Structure 1
Amino acid sequence: MSTNPIFVAAARDDSYAGVAALTFLTWDVLIHLADEVKYIWHGRNGWMKWIYLFIRHMPIFAQGSTGVHFNSTGCRDWIIYQAAVMEAITLAVEIVLIIRVYALYNRNKLVLTIILLLFVMEVTTMRCTDYIYGLLAMLSGLETILFVLTLIKFFQVAHRRIGEQTLLNTFVRDGTWAFAIIFLIMLLNTLMYQLSHTPLAGICYFWALSVMSFAGSHALLNLRRHCWESEPWFSTQTMMFTTDYELSEHSTQPTADKRTNSTTGEEMEVDAVPQLPI
């Protein structure tokens, strides 16, 4: 290990940042552990539960080696490991965000096909170009599209004066802050790797893992919390988006795609969110 004071100081700061990121993520896991048990582990045993487990807890294990020193061969292997973990977490979070948009558009096959094609193109770009630039391109491109699609759906029903606690508002709220913090941390991580040639280059890596874990896990957890607490008619056994969910202000009870107004006798169309396990 180099004894250059600048190198040593950079390595120390990098370790401090790693410990801070791990502390933040561990603290967030602990304060939401009761909600996780109630809304995730007591729900249906679907694949979303396991992708939540991966997104939520894998970064903690990945950060457990903070401060460990390697020789030149071990350092190269460690960098490969870091890149693989980051890519796996990123892809898992992207899958969650894609499914959210798929649900918003009532399981529209055309929307899903377009998103999946873009997803494959972005992954190919990440593999065929410089890894760091490819990862940033993936996030800035695909996540921007998903964010825009979410906003489009929101404005399509905005005239109905949706209340603050509706499922769609939960989608838009979580999609907005998740997009913002993920893009920001990945941009900072990319800039550090490109501009710094000291151990300080990796100062944002563990924070990127923590932020991805935080955003992806809360995007799932908040939906389940909303379904359990705001909509008691949701089955606690299935925990699914239902085609009976009404996004308008007329009712918070399950309805069909069309409903008769009890006052006017007119038939009203309601927007719906499809059945999809969360």
Structure 2
Amino acid sequence: MDQAAQQKKDVSYAAVAATAWIVWDTLTNIDVEVEYIWKLPNAPWMKIAYLFIRYVTILHAGAVLTLDVGAVRFPGTACRIWLAEEGIYMEVLALAVEVLLVLRLYVLFNQNKVVLWAMSTAFVAEIACMAAAIGKTVPAATFNENCQILWTPSFFMVYWLSSLIFETFLFGLTLVAFVRHVKDIHRKHSILFVFFRDGTWAFALIFVCMLLNTLMYKLNANPLAGMGYYWDLSVMSFAGAHILLNIRRLGVPDGPSGVGTTLPTMQFELSDIPTAVDTAHFSSTATV
């Protein structure tokens, strides 16, 4: 087996593993999903967000995997269109998950407008950087006969680095909020504990995955550069879905997870999200 064929095989193994993992996670949490997403009334935006983050991502990963494994041959123009689609989808998925993180921080900072504007400005800057990176990379990238990326310009690093920087910024705000409220965290299932816990593990997973993607594209001028794409999809889907599930758990008294039982009078609601991301509403008998 020649080197190119082995590299393609390695990428396919990574893709199958990442896709199988997120499908397994979905199936093992289907009962929780039904209980906290589909059965509960209100917050239709949460249902739409969950549907996109969880199921549209699985369909997208499956479609890309089918084309990769099937070794479908495309003309050069189609390869560029496909690369643009992959980049745009990943950007939209990342932004959807980051909106959830921004809203949670808005709650933790007691709906502080200065913090909101700082996060919104950084968010817009991230979108602009990622869009610019896609615009410059797609025309310049080179592919093999199976549409696998062989080379991308150095500017493509901006695509991954902008998300890394923004995620680090959000995590920094999470640590600040933690220091401000650390005396209020008395119970393992309090809203503060859940928010800080989810913010920490989500940041760690997303940061590591994006860092590995950055290094793969920087260090490899062969099909192995795209090996981390599927894992990035799966990690984003996993993080976004579980953040949404945990948010819904917090608003349900006497839930099977035990979270709701510690906050029997708490109501958590995020109304429809405009582009400015400024309509988070939080009311609770607990002081946040």
TM bucket, shorter chain: 0.7 to 0.9
Give me the whole-angstrom Cα distance separating, in 2, the residues matched to 1:27 and 1:134: 32
Q: Is 1:136 aligned with 2:168? A: no
Q: How far 1:45 sits from its partner (Å)?
A: 4.0
Return the TM-score normalized by structure 2: 0.78
Query: Deviations for 1:231-258, whole angstroms, at most 9, x for unmatched residues?
Result: 3334699999642241xxxxxxxxxxxx
**Higher mean displacement: 98-107 or 42-51:** 42-51
Kindly state the Cα deviation for residue 112 of structure 1 after the two structures are TM-superposed.
Answer: 0.9
State percent identity of aligned pairs.
Answer: 40
CA distance in 2 between counterparts of 1:128 and 1:61 reads 26
2:169 to 145, 149, 154: 145
2:203 maps to which of 172, 179, 189: 179
Match of 2:28 among 22, 28, 31: 31
C-alpha deviation, 1:135, in angstroms: 2.7
Change (3 A) 1:162 1:207: same
Retained in 1: the 8 A contact 2:106–2:112? yes
Q: Rg: which structure is higher? A: 1
1:197 matched residue in structure 2: 221
Q: Among 240, 243, 251, which residue is 2:283 paired with?
A: 243
Which residue type is aligned with residue 201 of structure 1? A
Backbone CA RMSD of aligned residues: 2.3
1:209 aligns with 2:233: yes
Change (3 A) 1:159 1:232: closer
- Is this contact kept in 2: 1:127–1:134, CA < 8 A? no
Give the corresponding residue for 1:14. 11
Deviations 1:65-84 (A, max 9, x none): 31132223333222122111
Q: Partner of 2:55 in structure 1?
A: 57
1:199 Cα deviation from its structure 2 partner = 1.6
Conservation of the 8 A alpha-carbon contact between 1:126 and 1:133: no
Q: Which residue of 1 aligns with 2:102?
A: 98
Provide the TM-score with structure 1 as the length reference.
Answer: 0.81
Q: Which residue of 1 aligns with 2:275?
A: none
One-letter code aligned to 1:85? Y
The verdict on how the C-alpha distance between 1:161 and 1:182 changes in structure 2, with shifts beyond 3 A counting, is closer
Residue in 2 that maps onto 1:78: 82
For residues 123 and 56 of structure 2, the distance between their equivalents in structure 1, rounded to whole angstroms, comes to 22
Match of 1:227 among 235, 251, 267: 251
Structure 1: tracts of 5 or more residues without a match: 247-270, 273-278
1:51, CA displacement in angstroms? 1.2
CA distance in 1, matches of 2:160, 2:266: 38
Distance 1:70 1:213, change over 3 A: same
Deviation at 1:179, TM superposition (A): 0.4
Count matched residues: 245
